[in-house]
Structure 1
Amino acid sequence: MKLRPLFILLAALTLSATVRSAPGTLIPRPQEATRLDGQFVFTTGIPVVYASGLEPLAEYIADYIPLQRLDDRTWTAGAALRLSLDGTMDDESYRLTVTPQGVQVVGADYGGVFNGLQTLLQLLPPEVYTGQATLPLAVDACRIEDAPRFHYRGMMLDVVRTWMDADRVKRHIDLLSHLKINKLHLLLSNDEGWRLEIKSHPELTEIGAWRGGDSPVMPVYGKWDEKYGGFYTQDEMRDLIRYAAVRNVEIIPELDLPGHSRNFARVHPEILCDYTPDLRPTAGYDYRSVWCASREENYRLL
């Protein structure tokens, strides 16, 4: 019984010096996190120094921590946030080291450095996520190493049933990337809409991107009497892909054909089987061919 206080004291001292699993505030939990003595303070004049190929990440982090950007070929010495690569490390792994003299993020590749920067942001005050943080900013000294357990860390976003414009998708990408999610499965066509501009078939978006009101596409989800929807131009989609790539997110598009092609058939009824089609809106259900004006009645039928 007398040894119990000694065990508690030793455990406390050990945890204060080295933490093999990350503090609970870090998401996801890194493989190893070690607390060091002191702090580093970001102040005016401290640069983010980047290696070749990492300039987009220097620009990215400067939106959260107001630092000047400097190519490592022109940097000599001094306190800095340094971004560098080590090809001997595992894919997307990183090592974050914070000392009173500076901060260094070493990654196996672009994705690894990005993941290290996300961990750094989590160690700073939450105001950095608003993009309006001001200097000075202090971060406790530590050494953190991590590698993703899964190569594919994904989320599916359905902008067909619930339309989101490009700016809202960018916000979604931001939130995913803060959690080191690296794949965005983007659903662009389904029974309820067609969301991507196809220049050789403009009718797919001119008609198929809208439902409700005077559209031939059935308003299955919300906005019952109002024409509702939208689509991404090819330039908007290219911009989304570039935006996501900077944040280590790959967009995986899905055009769902031949399955879930009711929307496509409303635009091109000639694709239907060789019989006299009943093109009255049915919401895809055979038991009734009249779409009720009452939202409550529609819910009852569905």
Structure 2
Amino acid sequence: MKHLVAERFWCIKQMDIFRDFAEVDADALAQITAFKRFKIGEPLCAEGVYLLKEGRVKISETPVDDAEPITLEVLEPGEMFGAGTWEEDDGLPSVTAETITEAVIGIVSARNFLFFLKRKPHLAMPMQNQFNRFTQKLIQAAQHFVRQRTGVGERGTETGLRLVARGLGLCRDETRLRLVARGPVPRRPAITNKLSNITFRSPASRLALLLQTYAMPPLPDGTVWTCKFSIKTFARLIGSSEEKIEELLEQFQQHHLIKKRFRRIQILDTWQIKKITNSRMCTLPRTPKDTSA
């Protein structure tokens, strides 16, 4: 495999940092954040962490031959991104971030944000508040569906909810105690990924770390498999889009680092996976197949 390629920006999607943090965590973050209003087309390249409160931001790459810029990411309100130290090189594409609407953005120094994460080791993806809101909406939809179809009272609704919850794979204890009309208290899903494993890392480094973390013990023949994850689960755990996950898995496979088999992944080169993990702000070089696409 060729040398890894450095990346200038990292970003976290699949979250709303202004809604998903608990109040005490949000207050602690607010103390180290300075908000600023930006006009359309303003660049955001200084080293630091950016919290997008209003508006949209685009990260794009301009090829060396000055062809049309390629949009890499578009960030929406609630999402965050960061810029690392960067030295311009005429032999490499130019990567920039800029507002594509008027925007309000919170800016935190990299040092302060790292210290914040160190003080808040419990912060993880998917966020607890995010999961609570999703589950609450799911339960309300189930309640409405059961009442509409059965036309029965509270007792019948609870019975119907148990059937719905069983079909969704929720545990029986939660079905009996929590999935009722009196206000469920959903709990955090078993699999999470610490925010400190996601920030200040390229998507490739995050994915490699996740594969490393959830790799099963080697089989007698030396084969290494990971736990079963869907594309959606991968995306939520590393704060990326499903399209980006599919692209990265394809890249990993083209470089003979992994082999995809249904929802399971076989790790073929543990040393290279570890190298990508440790690189933090680097990614894989494109293969000829990637370039022609």
TM-score normalised according to structure 1 size: 0.27
Larger RCO (CA under 8 A, 6+ residues apart): 2
TM-score normalised according to structure 2 size: 0.27
Structure with the bigger percentage of helix? 2
Q: Which has the larger radius of gyration?
A: 1
